[in-house]
Amino acid sequence: MSRRDIITLPDPLLRQVSKPVATVDASVRRLWDDMVETMYAAPGIGLAAVQVGEPRRLLVIDLAKEGEDKKPLFVANPEIFWESEQVSEYEEGCLSIPDFYEMVSRPSEVKLRFLDRQGAAQELHATGLLATCLQHEIDHLNGILFIDHISRLKRERVVKKFAKAQKLGKL
Ligand code: NI
């Protein structure tokens, strides 16, 4: 396992749509292992492959709290096929947009299909923080960032800030 660099705003790769994986093979599992190591080191609770520069439809999530046993969820080719009408608000952040947090509303519950670490098809009914986190990470696979769900004014402000920081060579 090795830790990877996380790309940040305004890297154009963050806007790219990731490609499905054909099979869950050793190379996919190696990438997942790199992703969890990178996510734990950051630290964060979710990471999409595109954030380490690999636009493939892969993500990892671990909602275990500090001191709890790690419980990584490995997800390939996720597809949400149902979402609740009820919405929940959580304060979100993103490892690709460091030090910026905003409240985001999303469906409270989602059902999805995906391939697990063994390549087996799974269905999951996610609620609470897991539902929010899955939607945030699946957005990444479609080139969507959580700042796309906040007001235009706030989004333009943060985009400008990161563009300026990049120009000044601070990122
Ligand atoms: Ni993110």
- DSSP one-letter code for 35: H
Identify the pLDDT of residue 50: 98
Identify the pLDDT of residue 171: 53
Does domain 12-167 bear CATH number 3.30.930.10?
A: no
Q: CA 97 to CA 90: how far, in whole Å?
A: 16
Taking the model in full, what pTM does it have? 0.96
Each domain of the chain, given as residue ranges in start order, spans 12-167
159: CA distance to ligand 1 center in Å?
A: 15
| 89 counts as catalytic | no
116: CA distance to ligand 1 center in Å?
A: 21
Identify the pLDDT of residue 1: 78
Mean pLDDT for all residues in the chain: 96
Given a cut of 70, the residues of the chain with pLDDT beneath it are: 170-171
